Amino acid sequence: MATYALDDFGGRFLTAGPLEVEGKIRPGISAYVEWFLPTARRELSVLFVHGGGGQGSEFLRTPDGRPGWAHAFLRAGYPVYILDRPGHGRCAWNDHALGPALPIADYDFLYARFVEPERHGLWVEAAKHDKWPQDRLAGDRFMASQGPMATTLSESQRHVEAIADELFEITGPTIIISHSAGGPCGWALAAKGGDNVAAIVAVEPQGYPGMVHAQGTFEDGLCAAPLSGSADPFARPIAIVTGEATWMRDTNTRAAQYIRERGFTFEHIMLEQHGISGNGHMLISESNSESIADLLISWLAKNLDLQSGDLRTRRQQAEPRTRYNDPKHAGGAIRPELS
């Protein structure tokens, strides 16, 4: 049974400050970031950014109870930060700050695209899908994780840009790993974070230049609205990751061409070319998710030249990376077990 030591775990709400609405002071745009800090760790962290109506918990555990990607990256020595984007997960939807939200998607819509696309055949590659977990409750748990989302892509982008500065103060130098509709948010965050963002791994990212979507048109490259940050989000090593059985293959191929033309380090990782087959859009939750995480960790090691010597054992941490005083955890180390 694999274990690793943590110096700290916790979380914090991020906020752009209060708003005055109809004579009352109310919370403004807010988000939540959770962190896990391994004792022997790299200087560079990993920031997970979820998609659509999802939440950060998707990176902690799969719907059938296996360790999620966060655990694989912790074993590799990365401090892990998991973002609940504004209005998602631990950060409830606040229409005063975020505007209206779309209704939560129903079983018919999401099952045909995420859980059992092979049964519905909405796209040609769907027939190859065979990696959804066999646990009979996995689909229900996935549906339970889904919540509201902004009515427009530009609003989703504006929301993450509002909390970006405070987020990067916490993560420090980091690697963004985004999924789906978190892809455009990841590019927007990188434009704000600049040199704080060492690399981006965009997993099945939404959008390509000019793509017309129900929530808006991609009018600014891989984003729907002009970036509020001044840095070039593509001026760093980038990978796009695409499953064999997803509807995103054409979308991701067009996005990949856009990034390649910018001349930076880039790879479009088509999973079947690495012996990983049958994955749909929600590959972070599927039965071979750990193999995909291992592939991404290897890609980062190669493209960022990360060596085992980058690991550090740190016992004294500044806030928010506070140590626990619980006598059960002498020395500040906490050992979770991975089942």
Indicate yes or no: pTM above 0.85: yes
Q: Quote the pLDDT of residue 133.
A: 98
Helices (H), the chain: 69-75, 95-98, 107-110, 117-120, 138-144, 153-171, 182-193, 249-260, 289-303
Could you tell me the domains of the chain? Answer: 41-313 (3.40.50.1820)
Q: Quote the pLDDT of residue 79.
A: 98
> Does residue 245 contact residue 117 with C-beta atoms inside 8 Å?
yes
Q: Quote the pLDDT of residue 220.
A: 97
Q: Quote the pLDDT of residue 3.
A: 80
What DSSP character marks residue 114? I
Q: What average pLDDT does range 50-63 have in this prediction? A: 97
Q: Specify the range with the lowest mean pLDDT, choosing from 13-27, 116-130, 268-282, 307-321.
A: 307-321
Please give the Cα distance from 291 to 42 (Å, whole number). Answer: 21
Backbone angles phi, psi at 16, to 5 degrees: -90, 5
Q: Is the pLDDT of residue 71 over 50?
A: yes
* Residues in a beta bridge with 89: none
Q: What is the full DSSP assignment across 144-161?
A: HT----BSSHHHHHHHHH
More confident residue, 312 or 170: 170
Return mean pLDDT, the chain.
91
Please give the Cα distance from 206 to 321 (Å, whole number). Answer: 33
Q: Quote the pLDDT of residue 322.
A: 33
pLDDT band at 310 (very low <50, low <70, confident <90, very high): low
Percent of the chain at pLDDT exceeding 90: 88
Estimate to the nearest angstrom the gap between the alpha carbon of 94 and the chain centroid. 21
Q: Quote the pLDDT of residue 307.
A: 46
Please give the Cα distance from 267 to 242 (Å, whole number). Answer: 11
Helices (H), 28-181: 69-75, 95-98, 107-110, 117-120, 138-144, 153-171
248-294 pLDDT, tens digit per residue, is 999 999 999 999 999 889 999 999 999 999 999 999 999 999 999 99
Q: Residue 189: which residues within 8 A CB-CB, separation 6 or more?
A: 47, 49, 160, 161, 164, 167, 176, 197, 229
- Kindly tell me the sign of the dihedral angle through the C-alpha atoms of 114, 119, 120, 126: positive
Please give the Cα distance from 183 to 141 (Å, whole number). Answer: 23
Q: Is the pLDDT of residue 326 over 60?
A: no
> Does residue 338 contact residue 1 with C-beta atoms inside 8 Å?
yes
> Does residue 238 contact residue 199 with C-beta atoms inside 8 Å?
yes
Percent of the chain at pLDDT exceeding 70: 89
Q: Residue 277: which residues within 8 A CB-CB, separation 6 or more?
A: 128, 244, 271
Q: Is the pLDDT of residue 329 over 50?
A: no
Q: Specify the range with the lowest mean pLDDT, choosing from 117-126, 166-175, 198-207, 308-317.
A: 308-317
77-136 pLDDT, tens digit per residue, is 999 999 999 999 999 999 999 999 999 999 999 999 999 999 999 999 999 999 999 999
